């Protein structure tokens, strides 16, 4: 069983996101370990990019901080390698990159996915890569054992079957239209979307975008197999900087408890 499958094997999964390199590579490693120790079942690591079109202000600003601090794809691969490590402190939870297509293209598709395989990356989410254009990239990712994780938006109704049938890892259902960021209320008919997805695949379904309270997490966990939280965690990093490990761990612990209730 793959690491991603394992993340969903023992009940509802909590998936946390960090912007890689914010405020530094070393601190990102510390925050990821804190999240895992607090109960995160899978961690997404954002590759910073200058024009992250699907992101709200919180993650946009984190991208800028990371780039200004010198974050690069090569350093993020090093981060992953340090987390996998050896011995008792090696992380065995799935680690997934979230990247826009441009950085992957410029690194080189074959080179990028070969490096993912060597470093221990389990999957990648590319928000600006339409399903219909995944072909070449999917083949390269598969050859290196990396799941190309697909997103399903509230507007994807006519494409759900095709996306679900060709999915890998898990399905990322976007809870709301617009960019990432906390939302006071999620009004999308998630039950219908998730039911449609499950009619075409046995892969787990996780929901993200806008989720930030334990109450929201618990509500969504009743429908989905996992809950994804990004902006709320990145916001804590922005607020506490180098000292964010404790606040992040406490937040993740509370959210994990809500998801598993």
CA–CA distances in Å: residue 103 to residues 81, 108, 158: 19, 9, 30
0.75 surpassed by pTM: yes
Domain that holds residue 53: 3-260
Nearest to 229 by CA among 189, 186, 198, 167: 186
Domain of 165, CATH number, reads: 3.20.20.70
Q: How many residues does the chain have?
A: 261
Query: How far is 86 from 207, CA to CA, in rounded Å?
Result: 32
Other Cβ atoms less than 10 A from the Cβ of 158: the count is 7
Number of independent structural domains in the chain: 1
Nearest to 123 by CA among 60, 212, 31, 206: 206
Residue 11 tokens read as: 């009940």
In the chain, DSSP assigns E strands to 13-19, 42-46, 95-98, 123-125, 147-149, 151-152, 171-174, 205-208, 226-229
In 75-190, DSSP assigns E strands to 95-98, 123-125, 147-149, 151-152, 171-174
The pLDDT of residue 85: 86
The pLDDT of residue 50: 87
What digits encode the pLDDT tens for the residues 62-103? Answer: 999 999 999 999 999 999 999 998 666 899 999 999 999 999
What digits encode the pLDDT tens for the residues 143-167? Answer: 999 999 999 987 666 788 999 999 9
Low-confidence ranges of the chain (pLDDT < 50): 178-187
């Amino acid at each position: 069983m793959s690491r991603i499958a394992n993340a969903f094997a023992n009940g509802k999964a909590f998936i946390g996101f960090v912007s890689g390199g914010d405020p530094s590579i070393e601190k990102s490693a510390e925050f990821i370990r804190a999240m895992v120790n607090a109960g995160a079942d899978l961690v997404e690591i954002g590759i910073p990019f200058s024009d992250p079109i699907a992101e709200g202000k919180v993650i946009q600003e984190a991208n800028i901080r990371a780039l200004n601090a010198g974050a690069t794809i090569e350093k993020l691969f090093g981060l992953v390698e340090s987390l996998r490590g050896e011995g008792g402190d090696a992380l065995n939870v799935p680690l997934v990159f979230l990247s826009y297509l441009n950085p992957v293209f410029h690194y080189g598709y074959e080179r990028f996915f070969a490096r993912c395989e060597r470093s221990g990356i389990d999957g990648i989410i590319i928000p600006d890569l339409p399903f219909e254009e995944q072909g070449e990239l999917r083949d390269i990712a598969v050859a290196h054992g990396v799941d190309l994780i697909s997103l399903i938006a509230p507007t994807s109704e006519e494409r759900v079957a095709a996306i679900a049938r060709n999915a890998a890892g898990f399905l990322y259902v976007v809870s709301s239209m617009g960019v990432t960021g906390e939302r006071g209320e999620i009004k999308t008919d998630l039950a219908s979307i998730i039911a449609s997805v499950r009619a075409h695949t046995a892969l787990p379904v996780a929901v993200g975008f806008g989720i930030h309270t334990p109450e929201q997490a618990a509500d969504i966990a009743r429908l989905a197999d996992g809950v994804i939280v990004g902006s709320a965690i990145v916001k804590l990093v922005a607020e506490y900087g180098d000292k964010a490990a404790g606040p992040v761990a406490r937040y993740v612990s509370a959210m994990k408890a809500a998801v598993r209730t």
